Every structure is written in C-alpha cells, then in structure tokens.
Chain A
Amino acid sequence: MTFRQEMKKALLTSAWFVFLTFPILVIRVNTIENVIEWRWLNMMWIAAGSFILSLLWSFYFGRKTGDPGKKTEAFAPADKAGSLFRNPRFRMPALVLTALFATAFPFLFSVYQTSIMTTALMYVVLGLGLNIIVGLAGLLNLGYVAFYAVGAYSYALLHYHFGLGFWVVLPLGGLLATLFAILLGFPVLRLRGDYLAIVTLGFGEIVRLILENWNEFSFGPSGISNIPRPGLLGLDLNLDTATIYLYYLMIGLCLITIFVFGRIRDSRIGRALIALREDEIACQAMGIDKARTKLLAFALGSTWAGLMGVIFAAKTTFVNPASFTFLESAMILSIVVLGGMGSILGVVLGAFLLILLPEYLRAFSDYRMLLFGTTMVIMMIFRPQGIITGIRRTYQFRGGSIDGATAGK
C-alpha cells in the first residue's frame, strides 16, 4: 500500500472513531444548569489518537504481510521468550535466580506483599490444573471454580463439625474435588466444545447456589469463619509467621504441581489427552477409551482446584459463596489462555500478570476491567497462542537402533 492510501485509511479510521465516541465523549448534559456542554477538545484527542494508532497498525501489518520470511516464522517456534527459556545457558541461571528470589521474598518485602504473592502462586496451581483439562484435553471447562469451592468448603465444614486439621483435610479436599469431577464427568462425556462449556458453567453455578441457599449445610451467604491457618508441628504462629509459612507451603505445592503437570504432559496419558483433543474417531480406532480418558483429564485437573480450595480457606480463615463466582472461573481460564495452553511457563507468567498487575496498579483500579479486556483483545489478535506456546518435549532414541534398521532395509 502506498503512503497516500495509508494516510487516507488512517483518516477514515479516525473519522469513524470520532463518530462512534461522539455521544459519550463530546456531548455532556449538565443537569444542574440545564445546558449541553460540547467538549471539542476530547474530540481532538480521539481523532489524533486513533489516527496515529491506525498508522502504527497498518505499519505493523504491512511489515507482516510484506515480508514472506516473517510469515513462515509464525509457524516455527517463533516465540523468543520460550526459546530463550529452553536454552540451557539461560535456563539454569534464570532458575537459580528465581529460586533465590522466591526463597528470599518474605524477608525482602512486607507481609502484605508476601500474602499477594501467595495468592498469585495459588493461581499458578489453579491455572496448571485447568491447563490439564483445557490445554491438554481440550475440554472447555467454565465451572472450574466449583471444585475450588468443594475444596474450600470441605476444609471449613470438616473443621467445623469434626475438628479436622489442615494437613488431614488437604488430601481429603483434593480427593473430594476429584470425586465431584468424576460425578460431573459421567453425564457430560458425550458433549464437547460449546455444549460442554455450557454444562460446566451450569455446574459451577449450581454448586455456588447450593452453597448460598442451603443454610443448614453451608451457613448460606454469611459463610463460615474462624477456620484455622495451617499448623507447623504444633507451634503457635502469629499472623506474620503464618503468612510466611503459607507462602513457603505454596512454593512447595507449586513446584509439585509443575513437576506433576510436566510428567503428565510428557507421559502416554498426556499424549492420549492431546490426541483426544485432536481427533476423537482416530483415538477410538487406536483403542483409546474415550470415556475413561476424558474422566481422567477431569479428575487430574480438578484435584488441584480441591487442594487450592483448602489452602484458600486456610489463608483467608473464612469462606462464603461470594468467593466462588463465575468471574473466578473466567479468571483462571484467562490465565491459561493468556499464558499459553499446554505450557507451564506460560501459565506461571499468566498467573503473575493477571493477579499481581491489578494489585500493583491499584491507582488505576477504576480502569482495571477496561485494561483487562483491552489486553485480552490485543493478545488474541497478535498472539492467539498465548504468551508462550506449549511446545512439547520430544525424545530421541539414543544409540540409533532405528537408523541402523532403516539403513539395513
């Protein structure tokens, strides 16, 4: 496209934006003095801004389509962050630095910061759990928060009625969430794609509504308070040390999750999940039990939500249904999609971005959702595969037995 054409297009774009935003940004009815204010300056800003953005946009895409070499690159593992991380020379120091930073974090920053960090780590685990279901098996689950709620309420209720401690309930919460996942899984096995999304969304809402309305069971909207924080060998911890203790606990759980997720992904089961996502009929022809594999994905993914639910209840010492709304599910799903489906590092980065940024940008809290939405839209246009693409590990046979065989034939 020539320069003139581009200018013309940018001008048209800015005119269109001016037209669109005119009613809300230019006209203001002052009800007190009963006059209409015309804010022409706003219009100028919109015009100038959209003109420049439009030019930048066409410049970016012009380069992208103009250069054929650039286009093929999008197919290859083009993400620089990912390939940088896979480079062992960079990887080791980066891991060591991260480990050091993570260990020293509670001593470098305040308890408040540590608490936020713990939340972010919880979302890392939640994201990785959902990544098994959505990223690997391709089952769009919009009710993931239900399993989170199951975990949280199992700790709250088991403590309230039977006085069970954190360490007893932690595995129980995970187990209960798994059980619920299998219960939900059975009826929805035949569904996929949009239909599955709607059913899981419904399931999430049902769990929340039950918790909200069944007063005798869950104490309704007022929730359950006075849930104890996790104990450490019977020591009496004050709020600060308990927060720091929970932080280290989360670091440990995060590492376990990352390890387990990696093992699942690189195992035959993980490949079966990916295969199931790609072609169900071929999977059946290969003898992969569709129902069992889908249930497995549901169960493996939901366990983490149950575990995190227990942690959540212990961290906030209070649970009520308001913590388990659809927004929470959407948040976790956003972490997975933004980070990169099937990728570990991507989900970790996604969780930190989506949880920490809103915390540190409290100054702009009015615009938080606006920024969130804009970021998502821009991400989906420019990097639909997420921050880091989930390129899976491939293994090579050592010793070249296959090369020998093919050479012999």
Chain B
Amino acid sequence: MLELNNVETFYGNIMALKGITLKVYEGEIITLIGANGAGKTTTLMSISGIVPPRSGEILFQGKPIHCLSPDEIVALGISQVPEGRRIFPQLSVQENLDMGAFLRRDTAGIRKDLDYVFGLFPILAQRRHQAGGTLSGGEQQMLAISRSLMARPRLLLLDEPSLGLAPMMVKLIFQVIGKINGEGATTIFLVEQNANMAMQVAHRGYVMENGRIALSGTASELLHDEHVKKAYLGI
C-alpha cells in the first residue's frame, strides 16, 4: 500500500533521514520504534508531505506521492495525527472534528463518521461544545485521533499517541487503535517510543537508528530479538 524507497530528508543542511526503505501492506498495523532523534517523526512528516523528501520516492498504492502537496496527500487518503496532539485549542471539539473533514463535501458521510468517532470515544460526545484547549491530555489525544479519522483515511499515521499519558489512558488509546484497524479498512502506521505497547498491537515493526532502518520483522520476532530487548524494551 505504501512504499518508501531510499528516502532522504533534510532540515536545512542536516540530514535527518539517510535512505529509508520500508513497506506497509494493506490492512496491517505497522510500527516504527526508535530512540529520540532517530528520525521517526521526520519519516511521517515526509510521507504526509509537510517536510518533503529531497531524494528517493514514496509510493502510495503504486503512485508516487513525494511530489504532492500536503493537502493533495490527505485527499488521497493519508491522514496524520501529529506528535503532541496539536488540536486547535480555541475551536470546540465538534469544530476540531469538522476541520478533520475539511476536504470532504459529503454531509451525510461526515455525520456518519462523527457518530462513529463519538462511538469510539463517548467522552468526546459529552464535550462536543467545549473548547479543545480545555480538554485533558488524554481527551486531547482522543480528539486528535478522531480528527484524523474524520478525513476517512485509508492509511492513518499516528505519531506517538502515548506521549505524556497515564498508563490507563495509553491502554485505552491502544485498544481503540486495534479497534480502528480491525473494524474498518484502515491501515495504521504507528510511531512509538513505548516499544512494548506498540509491539503488542502491531503486526510488523521497523526499528530506526540515526536516520536509518536498523532492523525489521514481525512484532513477535522483534519482541524476542536480543538487541531490541536490550535497547528498547529494557529487559
């Protein structure tokens, strides 16, 4: 479904991605783990076109997307939940969700998806008219995920959904991630620091180190890999 071939991305003169090659297949949950500064977020930013790669190619369903603008990429069905939630604090919950459906014009479909995300996170339905900035961290993360779902993506890019959340909340968020993947035809690309949690929900995983893919395999392979155990799982 998504293919990255030798992608190199720069911030000014600094090379953040030094030739990333990875594949995401339809319907799976894939996870990308790695230390701070390994280039996980940059990978997602390159896919969504916000920080376009300087060389290499990104194919989505066989078509190159590395030359498209962010809004065209969203229109193709790739939606990103940015790191640190980044909800719109002064817009109400419902307006935040509506911004997620910005490119869509089918009112009936939008309303249906609104019902769907309120079903996933009932607390958001209660807070519908509250300003986004007044929500708690966990609720904001729910809102950020819901907002991206409102674009009805075929590929959902999740950037550290567990960041700064209590263990209970992390568990809930990961349950919902599994649910989204299981129910719909949404493929999920999950970037995580919390390697243990990510491996439990994911099918396959990649490990990033210093802008390169260091290791890849199925989730259970990675969970039992000695290097991963030592470096990321703390066992």
A residues at B contact (CB < 8 Å):
268, 271-272, 274-275, 278-279, 281-290, 394-396, 401-403, 405-406, 408-409
Q: Are A285 and B99 touching (Cβ within 8 A)?
A: no
A sample of 4 more A-B contacts (CB under 8 A), given A282-B86, A287-B75, is: A286-B74, A286-B99, A288-B99, A406-B119
B192 in the interface (beta carbon within 8 A): no
From B50, B71, B73, contact of A281 by CB (8 A): B50
Encoded as 1 (CB less than 8 Å from any A CB) or 0, chain B from 37 to 55 comes to: 0000000000011100000
With A and B bound together, what is the CA distance between A290 and B49 in angstroms?
12
- Known contacts A289-B71, A406-B122; A284 and B48 CB within 8 A of each other: yes
Contact: B71 with A275, CB < 8 Å?
no
**At the interface, is chain A mostly helix, strand, loop or mixed?**
helix
Q: A278 to B80, Cβ gap below 8 A?
A: no
* B95 → A minimal CB distance (Å): 5
Interface residue tally on B, bucketed by range: 35 or more
Most buried by A among B50, B69, B71, B91: B71
- Chain B's closest residue to A390 (CB) is B90
Q: B70-98 vs A: 1/0 string, CB under 8 Å?
A: 11011100011110001111111011001
Contact indicator A402/B88 (Cβ below 8 Å): no
Could you pull out 24 A-B pairs where Cβ atoms are within 8 angstroms? A268-B98, A271-B99, A275-B99, A278-B90, A278-B91, A279-B88, A281-B82, A282-B87, A284-B48, A284-B49, A284-B50, A284-B71, A285-B82, A286-B102, A286-B151, A287-B70, A287-B71, A287-B75, A287-B102, A289-B69, A394-B95, A402-B115, A402-B125, A409-B122
- Considering the chains assembled together, what is the distance between the CA atoms of A288 and B119 in angstroms? 26
Pairwise interchain contact B102-A285, C-beta atoms closer than 8 A = no
Contact B151 A287 (CB under 8 A): yes
- A394-B92, A396-B129, A403-B125 known; A285-B119 Cβ under 8 A: no
B152 to chain A, nearest CB (A): 11
A353 to B115, CA, bound (A): 46
Question: B211-235 vs A: 1/0 string, CB under 8 Å?
Answer: 0000000000000000000000000
A285 touches B98 (CB 8 A): no
Contacts of A406 in B (CB 8 A): 115, 118-119, 122, 125
Q: Is the CB of B129 within 8 A of A394?
A: yes
Residues of chain B lying within 8 A (CB to CB) of residue A283: 99
Closest to B86 in A: A282
With a CB–CB cut-off of 8 A, which chain B residues contact A287?
70-71, 73-75, 79, 102-103, 151
| Residue B154, interface by CB 8 Å | no
Separation in Å of the A82 CB from the closest CB of chain B?
A: 16
- Chain B: minimal CB distance from A301 (Å): 19
Query: Contact between B115 and A268 (Cβ–Cβ < 8 Å)?
Result: no
CA distance A287 to B89 in the complex (A): 18
Chain B residue with minimal CB distance to A278?
A: B88
